């Protein structure tokens, strides 16, 4: 589903935002991507959404390769990979329904099916009753739900979320994460960047990837598997050392030894 | 559908700038329209003059019938020549009397006929141009018994050069207006794109195709071009009316040319906007 093979991302005149990062995410997996501010979480998600290209290394998402997908074809990636952000990025002055319908309309959905589909997507995120409300009048949690409904418009295989609960209170945060879990249960891979350690610790079954200054310093899946000579295995418990998530999240993982390649031949 | 609706909305959002862009396209095409008027009317005049383009070879005194016959045969055999008429001295005098009745007395008072015999060489249609006239004149002048060769070339030359000057002037002026029009269209679209940057961002996020994102702007450009072309037609028509009533009666340009002008306006608007949109869309993430 997701291959991040020796990926380095450098910005001009700014060292590397990501350094030789390697990980894979399987179909239907749920991953928390953590790390301090500036550690490279957003960069990782941008690369996964093909908003940027790696300087070195290869990325594959939903069957699309970073080295072979042309700019012209990026729209295909975007329909297979949904994304939401901390700031929601909804269109103001429009209703929840209109925001979701917009995504359907601009991606060529037949006109007569747009309204019922938008309604169904909003119901899926628990906002069926507020479809007609202006997004500016919704609470933060509700706005993020609209954004999720919009990201689901083209039934993506992967959902990326960049600090989606960064602006939300605890209750709203739980609501959003619950929606992610439901979607994940339906088979969607979810990669959620967050520095909310309480959240990450709250569910020890969820896989955790931790970045630090552009390097992948912890992978709960690799840490579980003592036989795997993964880079993280040799690390002196970096997460725990810095009071991070490592220890808490690694206890009960159930990642298998082999990461299967589930990619379709989409390109 | 979406594209058309958005293009119309954009038009309404920035009516001044879009109007300005259309106005500039209008001015550029107006210059083209004026050139069309001039060209068309010069062409009509040229056609009339061309009808009468012929080469006249005046013969020396004492040219024999045998020499004339040989020259007639040879000249008539040229592919550019339709026919050659031999005008004798007597006929020349009669023609002169008929065409210039006010000089009747002068002609009848003469005891010697001062008019030379001549060969009037008519050219085939399509050969009534500078080059052929020169070639045929030189051919005729080469006969030893030909005294002089005359033709209406000076006239033709003048009209041709007039048309060339009009063409160059229209080209320079039209190009200048077109450049300004393109710049204004670019600015109008840049503003339209900026106004819609959030939508464009969302469209990219959810996987709208680039062509889909560009389409409303290209349609907006085409609409500005079409509007400008209409303005140009109106301006050209007003000019034609004014000239025709105040100065001299001239023809209106052929309808087909107006169609071409409209097409140029639309295509120009689309091209200018495509270029601008490609450039400015890169500024929106
Ligand atoms: N567009 C960019 N241009 C230059 N540097 C960038 C850009 N985006 C991110 N960076 C740098 O890359 C590093 C990682 O940033 P980011 O991925 O946003 O971290 P995080 O999301 O974990 O806070 C930071 O040092 C940041 O300054
Ligand atoms: Mg970030």
pLDDT (mean) for B219-243: 91
Q: Atom of ligand 1 at shortest distance to CA of A9? A: 12
Angle, helix A140-151 to helix B197-206, in steps of 10 degrees: 50
Whether A164 is in the pocket of ligand 1, judged by its Cβ within 6 Å, is: no
Rounded to the nearest angstrom, the distance between the alpha carbon of B59 and the centre of ligand 1 is 96
Contacts of B144 (CB under 8 A, 6+ apart): none
pLDDT (mean) for B103-115: 74
In a 13 Å sphere around the CA of B109, the CA atoms on its Cβ side amount to 4
Residue B278 near chain A (CB below 8 Å):
no
Residue A105 vs residue B190, higher pLDDT: A105
Residue A187 vs residue B6, higher pLDDT: A187
> For residue A246, is pLDDT > 60?
no
Residue A157 vs residue B74, higher pLDDT: A157
Q: Where are the alpha helices (DSSP H) in A49-134?
A: 74-80, 96-106, 111-124
Rounded to the nearest angstrom, the distance between the alpha carbon of A38 and the centre of ligand 1 is 6
State the pLDDT confidence band at A247, using cuts at 50, 70 and 90: very low
Cβ–Cβ below 8 Å for A106 and B205: no
Q: Atom of ligand 1 at shortest distance to CA of A44? A: 17
By most ligand atoms within 8 Å of CB, the mutation choice from A4, A38, A210 for ligand 1 is A38
pLDDT (mean) for B90-114: 77
The pair of three-digit structure tokens given for residue B94, joined into one six-digit string: 């009669």
Q: How many secondary structure helices (H) and strands (E) does chain B include?
A: 10, 4
> For residue B201, is pLDDT > 90?
yes
Residue B202 near chain A (CB below 8 Å):
yes
> For residue B220, is pLDDT > 90?
no
pLDDT (mean) for B184-212: 88
Task: Give, using CA atoms, the residue closest to atom 6 of ligand 1.
Answer: A11
Residue B285 near chain A (CB below 8 Å):
yes
pLDDT tens sequence across B26-77: 888 888 888 888 878 877 877 777 677 778 888 888 888 888 888 888 888 8
Q: What ipTM does the predicted assembly reach? A: 0.83
Short-list B179, B63, B168, B163, CA closest to B119? B63
Q: How many CB pairs under 8 A join A and B?
A: 51
> For residue A227, is pLDDT > 70?
no
Cβ–Cβ below 8 Å for B206 and A91: no
Q: Residue B208 is nearest to which of A75, A91, A92, comparing CB atoms?
A: A75
Residues of B in contact with A78 (CB under 8 A): 204-207
Q: Which pLDDT belongs to residue A225?
A: 53
User: Global pTM?
Assistant: 0.72
Whether A17 is in the pocket of ligand 1, judged by its Cβ within 6 Å, is: yes
**What is the rounded CA–CA span in Å between residue B142 and residue B216?**
69
The pair of three-digit structure tokens given for residue B245, joined into one six-digit string: 């009533």
Task: Give, using CA atoms, the residue closest to atom 10 of ligand 1.
Answer: A17
Residue B282 near chain A (CB below 8 Å):
no
pLDDT tens sequence across B167-181: 788 788 878 888 888
**What is the rounded CA–CA span in Å between residue A72 and residue A178?**
35
Contacts of B134 (CB under 8 A, 6+ apart): B153
Question: Phi/psi class of residue A243: alpha, beta or left (left: φ > 0; alpha: ψ in -120 to 50)?
Answer: left
Q: Which pLDDT belongs to residue A61?
A: 97
Whole-number mean pLDDT of chain B?
Answer: 84
pLDDT (mean) for B130-148: 85
> In a mutagenesis test of the A interface, which of B2, B207, B215, B281 is the best target, namely the one with the most A β-carbons within 10 Å?
B207
Q: Which pLDDT belongs to residue B156?
A: 66
Rounded to the nearest angstrom, the distance between the alpha carbon of A85 and the centre of ligand 2 is 9
Q: Which parts of chain A are beta strand (E)?
A: 2-11, 14-25, 30-35, 56-61, 64-65, 81-85, 158-162, 189-193, 207-212, 215-219
Share of chain B above pLDDT 70, in %: 96
- Choose from B135-144, B155-164, B183-192 the range with maximum mean pLDDT: B135-144
Whole-number mean pLDDT of chain A?
Answer: 86
Cβ–Cβ below 8 Å for B198 and A91: yes
Query: What's the DSSP call for residue A129?
Result: G
State the pLDDT confidence band at A224, using cuts at 50, 70 and 90: low
Cβ–Cβ below 8 Å for A106 and B203: yes
pLDDT (mean) for A99-113: 96
**A56-61 vs A64-65, strand pairing mode:** antiparallel
Residues of A in contact with B281 (CB under 8 A): none
> For residue B84, is pLDDT > 50?
yes
pLDDT (mean) for A206-222: 92
Which CATH architecture describes the domain A2-261? 3-Layer(aba) Sandwich (3.40)
Residue B102 vs residue B64, higher pLDDT: B64
Can you give the length of chain B in residues? 285
**What is the rounded CA–CA span in Å between residue B190 and residue B186?**
6
> In a mutagenesis test of the B interface, which of A45, A49, A75, A108 is the best target, namely the one with the most B β-carbons within 10 Å?
A75
> For residue A50, is pLDDT > 60?
yes
Answer whether B269's CB lies under 8 Å from B221's CB: yes
Whether A45 is in the pocket of ligand 1, judged by its Cβ within 6 Å, is: no
> For residue A102, is pLDDT > 80?
yes
Rounded to the nearest angstrom, the distance between the alpha carbon of A37 and the centre of ligand 2 is 7
**What is the rounded CA–CA span in Å between residue A99 and residue A131?**
10
Residues of B in contact with A88 (CB under 8 A): none
What domains sit in chain B, N to C, each tagged with a CATH number? 2-48+160-283 (no CATH), 54-150 (3.30.70.3040)
Whether A39 is in the pocket of ligand 1, judged by its Cβ within 6 Å, is: yes
**What is the rounded CA–CA span in Å between residue B78 and residue A159?**
84
> For residue A100, is pLDDT > 50?
yes
**A56-61 vs B118-123, strand pairing mode:** unpaired
- The alpha-carbon gap from B212 to the nearest alpha carbon of chain A, in Å, equals 7
Beta bridge partners of B121: B55, B84
Q: Which pLDDT belongs to residue A194?
A: 95
């Amino acid at each position: 589903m997701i291959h991040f093979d020796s990926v380095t991302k450098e910005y001009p005149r700014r060292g590397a935002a990501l350094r030789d990062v390697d990980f894979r995410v399987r179909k239907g997996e749920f991953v928390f991507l953590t790390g301090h501010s500036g550690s490279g979480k957003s960069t990782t998600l941008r690369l996964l959404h093909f908003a940027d290209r790696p300087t070195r290394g290869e990325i594959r998402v939903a069957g699309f390769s970073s080295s072979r997908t042309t700019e012209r074809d990026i729209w295909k990636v975007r329909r297979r990979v949904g994304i939401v952000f901390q700031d929601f990025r909804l269109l103001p002055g429009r209703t929840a329904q209109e925001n979701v319908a917009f995504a359907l309309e601009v991606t060529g959905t037949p006109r007569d099916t747009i309204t019922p589909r938008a309604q169904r997507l909003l119901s899926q995120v628990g906002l069926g009753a507020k479809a007609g409300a202006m997004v500016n009048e919704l609470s933060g949690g509700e706005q993020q739900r609209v954004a999720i409904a919009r990201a689901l418009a083209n039934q993506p295989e992967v959902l990326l979320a960049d600090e989606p609960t960064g602006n939300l209170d605890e209750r709203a945060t739980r609501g959003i994460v619950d929606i992610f879990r439901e979607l994940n249960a339906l088979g969607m891979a979810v990669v959620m960047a967050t520095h909310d350690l309480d959240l990450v610790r709250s569910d020890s079954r969820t896989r955790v990837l931790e970045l630090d200054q552009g390097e992948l310093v912890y992978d709960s899946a690799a840490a579980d598997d003592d036989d795997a000579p993964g880079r993280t295995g040799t690390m002196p418990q970096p997460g725990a050392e810095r009071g991070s998530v490592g220890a808490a999240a690694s206890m009960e993982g159930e990642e298998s030894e082999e990461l299967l390649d589930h990619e379709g031949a989409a390109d | 559908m979406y594209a058309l609706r958005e293009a119309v909305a954009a038009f309404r959002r920035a009516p001044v700038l879009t109007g300005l862009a259309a106005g500039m396209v209008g001015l550029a095409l107006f210059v083209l329209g004026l050139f069309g008027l001039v060209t068309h009317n010069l062409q009509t005049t040229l056609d009339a003059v061309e009808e009468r383009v012929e080469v006249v070879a005046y013969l020396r005194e004492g040219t024999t019938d045998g020499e004339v016959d040989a020259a007639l045969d040879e000249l008539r055999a040229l592919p550019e020549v339709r026919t050659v008429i031999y005008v004798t001295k007597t006929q020349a005098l009669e023609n002169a009397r008929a065409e210039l009745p006010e000089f009747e007395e002068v002609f009848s008072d003469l005891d010697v006929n001062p008019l030379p015999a001549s060969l009037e060489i008519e050219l085939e249609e399509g050969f009534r141009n500078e080059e052929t006239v020169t070639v045929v004149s030189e051919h005729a002048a080469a006969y030893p018994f030909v005294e002089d060769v005359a033709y209406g070339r000076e006239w033709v030359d003048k009209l041709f050069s007039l048309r060339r000057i009009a063409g160059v002037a229209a080209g320079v002026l039209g190009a200048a207006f077109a450049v300004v029009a393109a710049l204004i269209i670019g600015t109008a679209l840049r503003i339209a794109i900026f106004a819609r940057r959030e939508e464009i961002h969302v469209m990219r996020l959810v996987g709208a195709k680039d062509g889909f994102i560009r389409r409303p702007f290209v349609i907006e450009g085409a609409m500005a071009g079409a509007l400008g072309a209409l303005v140009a037609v109106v301006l050209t028509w007003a000019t034609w009316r004014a000239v025709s009533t105040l100065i001299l009666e001239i023809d209106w340009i052929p309808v087909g040319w107006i169609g071409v002008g409209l097409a140029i306006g639309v295509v120009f608007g689309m091209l200018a906007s495509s270029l601008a949109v490609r450039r400015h869309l890169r500024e929106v993430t």
